Amino acid sequence: MDTVTIDDITSRIRCFAEAVKETRTHAAERSAFGKYRAGVPYFALYPLRSLMSSGESAARLSPEHHAEFGRISRELAALEQGGGRAYREELFRDLSTYVEAYRTLICYHELGLRPLDGIAHDPLREEIAVLLAELAGEFPLDDIRALVASLDETFCILRELGGAGTPRTDPAGGAAGNAPHRHWECPGRSPRPQERTDPL
């Protein structure tokens, strides 16, 4: 298992700050697959929050880390408040777009147009998991969850038939070889991203 260093978390906090800033500054330029995307702050927040609350990492974090994380979280809360319902609906539309793109990737593979390892390396499925957690309780997600579960099973079957390796993502976000299944790939998944039940 990879060791998460304080430098890793510092770097991710910087990325979180930049994600919130760019999402706010370039609101008019946002699109689901554009340079600026509505969900980017959450794609930075969820793995960062998980790292900060895990074992040794939590014990070694400084008050400065917590203060900076709190400051950026308040900026995200202000972004959410300023965007209102329209911003949440934008996230939901993007989620729907990402799920359709996930289905398209699998169809492309079945047509021989996309290698399976390309799908495994694509961050799209993790981003879907983050938005499902973030939007839980705000939108009707049962049908989307059912479709995603079906696509996950298809991906799992194709991977087993094809013997494709599954990349492990290191703390800096890069591919680091092969590893056991991630939570979305096969039965016996680890827990999905925790849904937000409290303010940032």
Domain range for residue 134? 6-178
Number of compact structural domains in the chain = 1
Quick check: is 196 in a domain? no
Per-residue model confidence (pLDDT) at position 14: 97
Nearest to 133 by CA among 121, 120, 148: 148
Quick check: is 193 in a domain? no
pLDDT in tens, 113-141: 788 888 888 899 999 999 999 999 999 99
Per-residue model confidence (pLDDT) at position 117: 82
Per-residue model confidence (pLDDT) at position 200: 59
Quick check: is 191 in a domain? no
Quick check: is 13 in a domain? yes
Q: Are 24 and 38 in contact (CB under 8 A)?
A: no
DSSP characters for the chain?
Answer: -PPPPHHHHHHHHHHHHHHHHHHHHTGGG--TTSSS-TTHHHHHHHHHHHHHTSHHHHHH--HHHHHHHHHHHHHHHHHHHHHHHHHHHHHHHHHHHHHHHHHHHHHHHHTTSS-HHHHHH-THHHHHHHHHHHHBTTB--HHHHHHHHHHHHHHHHHHHHHT---EEEPTTS-EEEE-SPPTTTSSSPPPPPPPP-S--
Quick check: is 192 in a domain? no
pLDDT in tens, 46-73: 999 998 988 777 778 899 999 999 999 9
Per-residue model confidence (pLDDT) at position 196: 62
Quick check: is 195 in a domain? no
**Does the reported pTM lie above 0.85?**
no
Quick check: is 54 in a domain? yes
Q: What gap in Å lies between CA 197 and CA 133, rounded to an integer?
A: 10
Quick check: is 146 in a domain? yes
